Chain A
Amino acid sequence: MIITVASGKGGTGKTTVSVNLAHMLGSKVQLLDCDVEEPNAHLFLQSEPKEQTVVTIPVPQINEGLCECCGECAKFCEYHAIVSFGTTPLIFPEMCHGCGGCSIVCPKKAIGEIDKRIGTVETSEVENILLVQGRLDIGMAMAPPLIRAVKNRLQQGLPAILDAPPGTSCPVIATLQDTDFAILVTEPTPFGLNDLKLAVAMMQEIDIPFGVVVNRFGVGDNRVHEFCKEQQIPVLLEIPDDRRIAEAYSRGELIVDALPEYRELFQGLIEKTMHQFNTQTA
């Protein structure tokens, strides 16, 4: 089973939920940090990377001897990675999504591909957790291909928890693809509610069963709960607004280790998630 922890909003506690959930499972589990622009799951697992692989995407290279400047490649590219005005095409590798379409539409077969490095994938192992994390190189904008490279490390037959990037854009969709269940983390504030609504609309669009975790329960107001009730979205867990949790987080400690009284809460999250998965997919 693959569970993705997502949220419409950054800083709501996705990583907190992901790492504590993975740790509480007890059995062997894969934890994939798909927030490749800012991976931070490793901060809570104090792991030394065991293996690091460079990830590349293919970007076009024009053979000027063959190119007749017809502009077909530029017309095809939706991402403005190739521009041509009856001249030899200009290439902007930083805009390229590596789809390879330009080389297919070129009537003169003048476009080859070269590998462009976008980041790395690191794997490590801490206790029961097999951690895989993507790290996008500084200045790179193409997170989805790197996220897919992280997900290519998924081992069949082992439960997996995917820590998604914040928001509702391409990198989040790339993370959510082919997952079985999503946990949306939010906080009971107007900002949390606004972004939860966006995330819920996204979930309904891609049709993956999901539930909500309310972090910092006790701050803000009741509207997140009212929204969930109205939309019949199950609230899987409420994490209290407890200063000690923030302190443990800032020291890079797991809540379930630093504050054992919360173990039961996360155990409950596992059970409710399984229950919801079974009910919603039945």
Chain B
Amino acid sequence: MKIAFTTSGNELTAPLDPRFGRASKFLIYDLENETFEMVDNQQNLNAAQGAGIQSAGTVTNSGAEALVSGHCGPKAFRVLMAAGVKVFYSEAGTVGEALDAYKQGKLTESNAADVEGHWE
């Protein structure tokens, strides 16, 4: 199973971006192989509108079945739910810490967006 993390860097020590729609990258971690790949989200970072919707599409297309981010807005959440991607919120400082928290079962699956649209 793959998990997507929002980040601005390229490795597990990079900060976890608290924003979802306008995060610059997604780190897609493969739990079985313990490897990861980066998916660029630069285009959405600068999108005039619909960043959350499009980012949710990007995460879904990466094959991730779960997302770990600081927050998620209502439109993105609707798309992720429709695509069957589970959403977890984390206040961890880095992607690695968020991953550890996930593995230890410390993150709880969310059933709602936690911020308004256009939050930042």
Contacts and interface: CB of A to CB of B under 8 A. Distances in A.
Contacts of B57: 80, 83, 85
Interface in B44-100: 49-50, 53-54, 56-57, 60, 75, 78-79, 82-83
Contacts of B79: 83, 90
A85 B53 CA distance: 12
By secondary structure, the B interface counts as helix
Looking at A80, A85, A87, A95, the one whose CB has the most chain B CB atoms below 10 A away is: A80
Nearest to A89: B82
Nearest to B55: A80
A81 B49 CA distance: 10
Nearest to A80: B50
B50 A87 contact: no
Contacts of B82: 83, 85, 87, 90
By secondary structure, the A interface counts as loop
Contacts of A80: 49-50, 53-54, 57
A241 to B, nearest CB: 35
Contact of B50 (A79, A85, A90): A79
Interface string A66-91: 00000000000001110101010010
Interface string A217-261: 000000000000000000000000000000000000000000000
Contact of A85 (B49, B54, B75, B83): B83
B49 A95 contact: yes
A85 B65 CA distance: 13
A21 B53 CA distance: 44
Given A79-B49, A83-B53, A92 B83 contact: no
Contacts of B75: 92, 95
Interface in A140-183: 141
Looking at B50, B56, B57, B78, the one whose CB has the most chain A CB atoms below 10 A away is: B50
Contacts of A92: 50, 53, 75, 78
Nearest to B81: A90
A191 B115 CA distance: 33
A79 B54 CA distance: 9
Nearest to B54: A80
A59 B78 CA distance: 18
Contacts of A83: 53, 56-57, 79, 82
A141 B49 contact: yes
Nearest to B61: A85
A85 B75 CA distance: 15
A92 B50 CA distance: 10
Given A87-B83, A90-B79, A95-B75, 7 more contacts: A80-B49, A80-B54, A83-B57, A83-B79, A85-B60, A92-B53, A95-B50
Interface of B: 49-50, 53-54, 56-57, 60, 75, 78-79, 82-83
Q: Which 7 residue pairs across A and B have the least CB separation, nearest first?
A: A80-B50, A80-B53, A85-B83, A83-B79, A90-B82, A80-B54, A85-B60
